[in-house]
Amino acid sequence: MLDPPADLSPQALPRIRSARALRGGLMEISANSVRDIDPDAIVSEGPRDRLDVEDEGIAALAESIRQHGQQVPIMVRPAEEPDRYRIVYGRRRLAAARRLGVSVKALVRSMDDTASVVAQGQENSLRLDPSFIEKAVFVGALREAGYSSGTIQDALAISRQALSLLAIVHQSIPAEVIEAIGPAHDVGRRRWMDLTDLVRKAGVDLAAIVEEHRQELVDTASSEARFDLVFRAAAARPGTARNAAEPLRGPDGKEIGSVRRSRKEVILSISSKDDADFADWIQRSAAMLVEEMRQRWRREQSETSFPNEINVKGGPTDT
C-alpha cells in the first residue's frame, strides 16, 4: 500500500483510512453479492456429484424457473481468465438456465480447490440429499482428482468407514452400469453393497448384463426399477443364486459375515477379524442359538399353518 503524500495534514489521515476501509468493504460486498452471469461464462467442469444433470428433470426445473424465477443462486468462483467463472455448486440450475437461454443468478466467492469441493458436497447434501450411488460417484471423482480422505469426509460429512464403503462400490461397479441405472434415490447402501458383492465375490459381469438388457433398461422409466432389473439379472447368473455367499451386514452396512446355501446345507460364517470376542461367543453358543432359531421357526410355522383354530379357552373360535 502506498504511503500518503508527505504534505498531507494529520487531520486528513483518518478520512483517507476511512475511505480505503469503505472501498475495501464495498469490494468485499461486491465479491459476495448475487450477480446475473451469462451461463456461457461459467465452466461446469469439476467433480461430478449428480447423475441426472442431463435428464428430463432439467426440463422440469427449467419450466419452474421460467414461471417463478430462480429462487436459489448457484455458487461460482473466479477462473483464471477475465470474466470467466468455475462452478462450485448448482450444476442443475446452471443447466436449466442454459436451456432457457437466460442469465443465472450466482454468488461469486474466491476459494481454492479444497474449499470448493467441500462447499459443493455440503450444499448438495443439505439441499438435495444425494442418493447413495451419487455419493459414491462424487467420492470416486474426488479420489481420482487427488483430494485427501479428510477433505472428502468433510465434503460429504461422513465417517472413514462410510467413505470406505462408498469407494468400494464406485471401484466395483462400472461407470456404464451406474449411468444405465441412474441415481436410484430409494435404493440404499445395503442393496448397492449386495450388488457389489455379486461382482467381487461371484464374478458377475454387470456391464455385460446392462448390454444384454439395454432396450429394457431404456424402456424402464424408474431408476429404482432399473436397479431391480440389473440386480435380478445378476443374482440369476449361474452360481450366484444359491451357491454364492450372501453377505450379512449390521445396521451400519458393515459386513459381519456371510451365509451360503448349497443343495445339502446352509453355511453361516462370522468374521472374527474385527471382533474376536463376539466370534468366540458365537462358537460357544452355537448349539443354543441354532436351537432357539429352530423353536422360533416352529412357532412361526404353527401360527401360519393353524391360524385361529382354537380360542384362549380351548373352544371353537368365532367366525
Residue by residue, pLDDT tens for the chain (319 residues) are 444 444 545 555 455 455 555 444 444 444 456 789 999 999 877 666 566 555 556 887 888 888 888 877 888 888 888 888 988 878 888 888 999 999 998 888 887 777 777 776 766 655 556 789 988 988 888 788 777 888 788 777 788 899 999 999 999 999 899 989 988 988 989 899 999 989 988 889 999 999 999 999 999 988 999 999 999 999 888 765 445 567 777 776 677 777 776 656 777 878 777 777 888 888 888 889 889 988 988 888 877 554 444 333 344 433 3
Q: Indicate the helix (H) or strand (E) that contains 208.
A: helix 206-212
Q: Which three cell numbers stand for residue 312?
A: 384362549
> What number of CA atoms fall less than 13 Å from residue 264's CA on the CB side?
0
> What are the backbone angles phi and psi of residue 286, rounded to the nearest 5°?
-55, -50
Sign of the Cα torsion 140, 143, 144, 147 reads positive
Angle between helices 132-144 and 149-156 (to 10 degrees): 150
Report the phi/psi class of residue 176: left, alpha or beta, with left for phi > 0 and alpha for psi in -120 to 50. alpha
Retrieve residue 175's grid coordinates: 461407470
Residue 288's SS3 state is helix
**Cβ atoms within 10 Å of 134's Cβ, excluding its own:** 23
CA angle 296, 301, 307 (to 5 degrees): 120
Question: Could you state, in order of their start, the residue ranges of all structural domains in the chain?
Answer: 31-172, 175-244
CATH number for the segment(s) 31-172: 3.90.1530.10
